[in-house]
Amino acid sequence: MRSRSIVMLCLLVISSGCVPFGLRPSAAVSSDPGRGGAPGALLQYQAVRGAPDGARAYRVLYRSTGADGRSTPVSGMIFVPPGAPPSEGRPVIAWAHPTTGVQPRCAPSLSLLRFLMISGLSDMLKRGFVVTATDYPGLGTDGTHPFLDGSSEARAVLDSVRAATRVPGASASSRFALWGHSQGGQAALFAGAMARSYAPELRLAGVAVAAPATDLATLFRDDMGTDGGNNLTALTLWAWARIYGVSYSSVVQPAAVAPIATIAEKCLDVLVESPGKKGADRLLAAGFFAVPDMTKVEPWRSLIARNSAPLLPRELPVFIAQGDADETVRPAVTYQYARRLCAGGSKVVLDVLPRVGHGWVAVKAAMTAVGWIDDRFRAVPAPTTCADLPSSKLPGSLQGTTRS
């Protein structure tokens, strides 16, 4: 889930990490939860310098719905391309970011590299699209980030599109597409499944994802024992304990409790890891769970099933990019999710990138993904590669799953 591509872009940043501790744009937006408004209401917006290709960039605060079902402020960014808008308004692409951490300071909109963290941003702007980039709840604002809680992430993504339609001069239309990587792939898939019921006034053209987190049980099992997998599990346990009110003390070794808290305090996309983070990684590597398989123990089993990616309405076209060298989101799991979509009648394009790992897949696939989205906006008939999907062994946790 860690976006290693961002780390590679940090070579000129002299700081403790790519997401600066406490660094905010000037006159940073507040997170006053007492302010009213329906989901998508634009609470504040602030111009940010340095947007690429002559675009206007805004750091925004807008209204959404949190994991607890209550109204919550969410921060993010909205980009408006230069030039006169078409008479029907500009289409919108909602970008959903990969894992950056669970602390408010880990928000992409607060990063020095905030513009470089959005895969394909320049191409999207050159094609005349408005681009939204939510931080998700609890990143950039007060509160607990509901990490890998698919529904709250999805609502934040959909409400970012609503917020874009309210930015003065943006001329954002109700026509939109979704584009997400890793954790953001999960968010985009949940948003695609929820769009019709949660935001019926918006018109979704298609969903594009790169190495999405789909079957979480297999993801946790596959990654367990690696630093990245241990970090992913630690963030999930820490966040879910807070948003769902459950305890993980019975499923982890006592020695793992303190390292989990240490991992949760750090932003993951950093140039140089702190000694504390390295020490926590060593402790988790030495021993993590007190049960053979956390994914089979309640309430974690049910929470994992609840947050594994749903299937999408069959009329919604889907683009999926997957690196065949990905060791975080294994290709076989993504291929199986694509087959489930195809079996339900969806038109799916699966783009397999040779020798590409998890961190780079969205960057490498961005031009193809954005071109595919552009075709959907122009009502070009959606292609499909369903007849040519790679073969893979069916993960046990997906057996017997059907479209709901």
pLDDT tens track of the chain, all 404 residues? 544 444 444 332 322 223 322 234 433 344 444 456 899 999 999 999 999 989 999 999 999 999 999 999 999 999 999 999 999 999 999 999 999 999 999 999 999 889 999 999 999 999 999 999 999 999 999 989 999 999 999 999 999 999 999 999 999 999 999 999 999 999 999 999 999 999 999 999 999 999 999 999 999 998 888 878 888 999 999 999 999 999 999 999 999 999 999 999 988 765 445 666 777 878 788 778 999 999 999 999 999 999 999 999 999 999 999 999 999 999 999 999 999 999 999 999 999 999 999 999 999 999 999 999 999 999 999 999 999 998 755 443 333 333 33
Amino acid at 34: G
191/136 Cα distance (integer angstroms): 12
CB hemisphere CA count around 77 (13 angstroms):
29
Q: Which two tokens stand for residue 96?
A: 């959903």
For residues 152 and 109, give the distance between their C-alpha atoms in angstroms, rounded to a whole number: 18
In our burial notation (b when 16+ CB lie closer than 10 A, e otherwise), range 65-87 reads bbbeeebbbbbbbbbbbeeebee
Contact assessment for residue 327 and residue 360, using Cβ atoms and an 8 Å cutoff:
no
Strand partners, 289: 252
CA dihedral 360, 361, 365, 370 (to 10 degrees): -90
Give the relative orientation of helices 227-244 and 216-223 as an angle to the nearest 10 degrees: 140
Please, are residues 351 and 368 in contact by the beta-carbon 8 Å criterion? yes
